[in-house]
Structure 1
Amino acid sequence: MHFYTYDGSFEGLLTVVFEAYERKEWPTQIGREGEAPPGIFAKHHFVPTQEDKAKRVWEGLGKKLSKAAWENVYKAYLWEQPGFEMLIFQFVRLVFSSKQDGIEENFTESCVQKMAAVGKQMFREKHRMEAFIRFQRTEDGLFIAPIRPDFNVLPLVVSHFEKRYADQHWLIYDVRRQYGAYYDLQSVQIVSLEEAPLSLRKGQLSPEILTSVEPLYQQLWQAYFDHVNIPERKNQKLHLRHMPKRYWKYLTEKKPRMQAHQPIQNKQVPTIVPRLKA
């Protein structure tokens, strides 16, 4: 058994792929640095991230896959569910071993089926985030929106909001993963919050930091929501299907709680990950 570990980054995972081919030792499990080997007889090998090796793997995939299937590899990384590293490795190995193009349409392969299913899940979650994100304006003019998606779709929705709100400073903050995307009218930066208080980690904004008219805007939106609602056509089952309860906490029309924000500190942005279109 060969147990490969990496630093948790997308580039690091691609480096694992390169290293496995270089060593000709296929992993039976891939995990993040610090995870315990799956058994006492497993051979543990930590792979440090190397940008040049990751880039070669990524560009090689781009030559053999359609654009959608190529992007799905990155989406599978953002999926974050147990076993996603091995799913990606199995799919990548299948791609590189195939002498023909269009391997992503060979649904007789279980990893191809799974990758397609993951792509659909990520698309659905991305679409919901684009629809359900609600901003609140602070006194310093920053629009903040907390989110808690099931999957790590924040990198996928950035382009949508960068185009839609190009004239505003905004921060979309993932309270589950404790990082956000900050737009400064020029570009989007991946950020973390220094010493974020418990209230922020729970996705709340305190009323003291909000602009004085923010409660009025929220009341207007709630009034509009109530006005367009037709009680006679109420379909709770359909409503929950399109707007699951797990998203209600951050929806103005569902009366979300207030939250707080802290100073922003830049983090390094992945260098080879593509900017996916909205």
Structure 2
Amino acid sequence: MSQSLPLRRPAASVGPAATRRPGVPELRQAPLDYTYDGSFEGLLTVLFTIYERKAAPNSIQAHGAMQGGLFAQPVAVATDETLSARVWKNLLRYLDKDARTRLFHVFLSEAPDRELLIFRYADLAMRTGRDISENYADDNVRRVQRLAQQMYREKHRMEAFVRFEKTQDGLFHATIEPDFDVLPLIAAHFTKRYADQRWLIYDRRRRYGLYYDLHQTDVVEFDSATPRHSSAVSATVLDEREPLFQVLWQAYFDHVNIPERKNLKLHRRHMPLRYWRYLSEKQPREQRFAAIRNKRPVQSPTTASLPSTTPDGNEKD
């Protein structure tokens, strides 16, 4: 995870006037196929191995997903956290902090060719010797920027659309299924915002979650043999007041809504349909919406000042 890779600012600023930095070996050997364990630390270890062997990657894939040629023998790279931390730190010699962070976001995007994209971007920065984050003439730079923007939008949506359910033991549980692997990016937000309660956010698609125990947030994984067809928490483990909380939230949502200003197209653009299954306010209502009737009818000043009379014209007592 990103927490194991310390983020530090570069010792010197990198600008257009910077000269080409030495120490980037030429990749003169025949391209090779590389495999790794699928972690970001493992990918950084692959980057180190590429320059150590001086062999550009023909492909970089996780173990078990290799689809090379008939006679190709992939190079299996074992993850080395010391080497990965060294690579992560040295990238600041060629990239600023924000550009380096975007590479991590590209990895979390789960794009099919994310490994090669990260290598090409880093290799271009090292050989150019200056900041390339605004070099939009390069296809790799444009793709990295686009994926980073998509990750930011997904992160923002998850921070807004997570809905918790309280269990009998006081744990607040939420299920999400984002397009990208954003759990590492939203951990700090929920740890700070809900620091006074135990919670679990479970990514149904990737089968792991974040668990906060009032002290720290840890990554938890679930048994792969567990069925995937159900994402809801069993009603037997929910707090007995949870249905009431959901009804209250739905009622609040309905009463702050303004039917005359309904714009479903705009609503779906800001809150896509794929998130609705996990939102309490989008679930079927147990009772139909009704306007609040707790106010007295308003009387006009003229009516209020006129005395009431009897049919014969006399004033009432």
TM-score bucket of the superposed structures, by smaller chain: 0.7 to 0.9
- Structure 2 length normalisation: TM-score? 0.77
Gaps of 5+ in 1: 257-278
Equivalent runs, 1:190-269 vs 2, <5 Å: 190-194=219-223, 197-198=226-227, 202-255=230-283
* Structure 1 Cα separation of the partners of residues 282 and 225 of structure 2: 25
* Structure 1 Cα separation of the partners of residues 227 and 271 of structure 2: 26
Structure 1 residue 37: deviation in Å?
3.5
Q: Give the partner amino acid of 1:249.
A: R
1:34 to 64, 68, 88: 64
**Greater shift after overlay, 142-151 or 86-95?**
86-95
1:93 to 103, 106, 123: 123
* Structure 2 Cα separation of the partners of residues 198 and 229 of structure 1: 37
The answer to whether the 8 Å contact 2:94/2:129 transfers is no
Equivalent runs, 1:71-220 vs 2, <5 Å: 71-100=101-130, 102-194=131-223, 197-198=226-227, 202-220=230-248
Residues 93 and 43 of structure 1: is their aligned pair in 2 closer, same or farther, counting only changes over 3 Å? Answer: farther
Instruction: Name the one with the larger helix percent.
Output: 1
Q: Does 1:8 align with 2:15?
A: no
The answer to whether the 8 Å contact 1:61/1:95 transfers is no
Gaps of 5+ in 2: 1-30, 285-317
Report percent identity of matched pairs.
52
Q: Give the partner amino acid of 2:231.
A: G
Aligned pair count?
Answer: 254
Structure 1 residue 235: deviation in Å?
0.7
Q: Give the partner amino acid of 2:97.
A: K
CA deviations over 1:38-80 (Å, ceiling 9, x no partner): 3225441111111121111100112322222111111111000
1:54 to 76, 84, 94: 84
Q: CA RMSD in A?
A: 1.5
Q: Secondary structure in 1 aligned to 2:267? A: helix
Q: Give the partner amino acid of 1:80.
A: E
Name which structure has the greater RCO, CA cutoff 8 Å, separation 6+.
1
* Structure 1 Cα separation of the partners of residues 107 and 88 of structure 2: 13
Q: Give the partner amino acid of 1:179.
A: Y
The answer to whether the 8 Å contact 2:32/2:57 transfers is yes
Q: Give the partner amino acid of 1:165.
A: Y
Q: Secondary structure in 2 aligned to 1:27? A: strand
- Structure 1 length normalisation: TM-score? 0.87
